[in-house]
Amino acid sequence: METPGTLSSWLKLLPLLNERQRRLYAAQKVLELGHGGLKQVYEWTGLSRPTLLNSTLALRGAVAGVEPERIRRAGGGRKKVETQATTLTTDLER
C-alpha cells in the first residue's frame, strides 16, 4: 500500500516527464501494485485505462514499442490544420 508521502512524491515527478516517460512510469507503478493497480493509477493520474494497459504490455515486451528516439509512434498526434482544411491557406490569403 502506498503511503501518502510516497504517493505525493511520485505524483510530483509525473509533470516533469515527457509524454512517453509519463506513460511508462505510470505503467511501472501499475505492475508494482499488482491486482487493482490499473484502477488506482488511473484514478491518481487521470491517464486513460487503454493507455495504461498498452504501456504495461509494452513494458512486459508483449507489444512492439515506439522507437527509443520517439515519444509517439510515427503518424501519431494531431494532424496539421493545412492538411485537414485544404482550402484554409487560400481562404486566408484572400
pLDDT-derived band at 67, boundaries 50, 70, 90: low
Question: Using only C-alpha atoms, what is the Rg of the chain?
Answer: 18
pTM above 0.75, yes or no: no
Give the start-to-end residue ranges of the domains of the chain: 1-65
pLDDT in tens, 11-61: 888 888 888 888 889 999 999 999 999 999 999 989 999 989 988 888 887
Name the DSSP letter for residue 5: H
Longest dimension (CA), the chain: 62
